[in-house]
Amino acid sequence: MALTANAVYGMREMFLQIGFDDFMSKPIDFIEMDTILKKWIPKEKQISSAVACRNFANTNNPTMTTFSIEGVDVNKGIRLSGEKFEYYYEILTMFHNDALKQQEKIKKYLDTGDLHMYTIHIHALKSALANIGADELSEAAHALEMAGQRGDLPFIETNTEHFNMMLEQLVNSISNALPSSNVKGEGDPLINEQFIAELAKLKTALENLDFEVVNRTNYVLTELAWTDDIKTVVRNISKHILLFEYDEASALIDDLLRETVQ
C-alpha cells in the first residue's frame, strides 16, 4: 500500500500500475487504513480486537466531552490519532511547540524570496493542521502551497499575513485548552523510580514493535516528568516515534536513562 502526501489526480492509478495494491494520502485516517488493510490481509491472518474503539461522545467522561478548541474539529483529530484521546493530547502539544517555529521559517523564506523553501514549510504546516483537525486553516495553507508551486508571489504576499495571524490565534487557543504542566518534585525518589521503569518499558516496547505499550507508556512518561526539560525530551521521543524514527527515539531514551539513573 502506498502512503504519500501527494493526493493529486491520477496518483492512485500510477501506484496501482507499478505494482502497489492500494493507495492512501496524508493525513493518515486510521479508520480508512484499517479498512484497506482488512481488504488485503488474508482473513485467516486477521486477529479481531476484543476491545471496541472508545466512544468519545460518552457523557460519563467530562474530560473528553468538554474539551474543545476554536477552529479545530477535535473529534476528527482524535479519530486521526487512532481513537486515543491521550495520544491526541500529545500531538496537540507537539503542534503547539512547533507551529510558531515553522511560522518563523516561512516568514524568513518569504522575506528572502526563497519560494521553494517557503513552499516546503507551508506544506509541513498544512499536513500538521490537518492532523489535529484544523481543516479550515489547513485549506488556507494548501492554497498558499499551491501558490508557491506556481510562483504566484502576489497571492502569497496578500494572504500569508492573514494566515500567520490565524495560526497565532490557533496556537493560543490550543495553549488555553491544554492542561497546565504539573511540576513534580525533582527529588521525589518514588517518581524517579517509576519514571525510570516506564522509560525502560518504552525502550523494550519499541524493540518489540509493541505500539499499544508504546502509546500508553509515552502518555505515562509525560505525566511523570518532573521538569520542563525532561518533558521536552519525552515529547521529542514521541515525535521521533510518530515519524517512524525508532533509532533516534531509542538513542534519546538511552540518554535520558543515563541522566535519570545518576
User: Domain segments of the chain: what residues?
Assistant: 2-45, 88-177, 189-261
Residue 59: pLDDT above 70?
no
Angle at 115 between CA 112 and CA 120, to 5 degrees: 115
Residue with C-alpha cell 492554497? 143
Arithmetic mean of pLDDT, 181-198: 57
Arithmetic mean of pLDDT, 32-61: 61
CATH of span 88-177 = 1.20.120.160
Confidence category of residue 6, pLDDT binned at 50, 70, 90: low
Indicate the range of 11-20, 153-162, 172-181 predicted with least confidence. Answer: 172-181
Confidence category of residue 127, pLDDT binned at 50, 70, 90: confident
Assign 3-class secondary structure to the chain.
CEEECCCCCCHHHHHHHCCCCCEEECCCCHHHHHHHHHHHCCHHHCCCCCCCCCCCCCCCCHHHHCCCCCCCCHHHHHHHCCCCHHHHHHHHHHHHHHHHHHHHHHHHHHHCCCHHHHHHHHHHHHHHHHHHCCHHHHHHHHHHHHHHHHCCHHHHHHHHHHHHHHHHHHHHHHHHHCCCCCCCCCCCHHHHHHHHHHHHHHHHHHHCCCHHHHHHHHHHHHHHCCCHHHHHHHHHHHHHHHCCCHHHHHHHHHHHHHHHHC
Dihedral over alpha carbons 260, 221, 134, 63 (to 10 degrees)? -140
Total residue length of the chain: 262
Prior bond of 154 cis (ω within 30°): no
Residue 49: pLDDT above 80?
no
pLDDT of residue 244: 77
pLDDT more than 90, % of the chain? 20
Range with top average pLDDT, 37-51, 61-75, 157-171: 157-171
Residue 140: pLDDT above 50?
yes
Confidence category of residue 161, pLDDT binned at 50, 70, 90: very high
Arithmetic mean of pLDDT, 217-224: 76
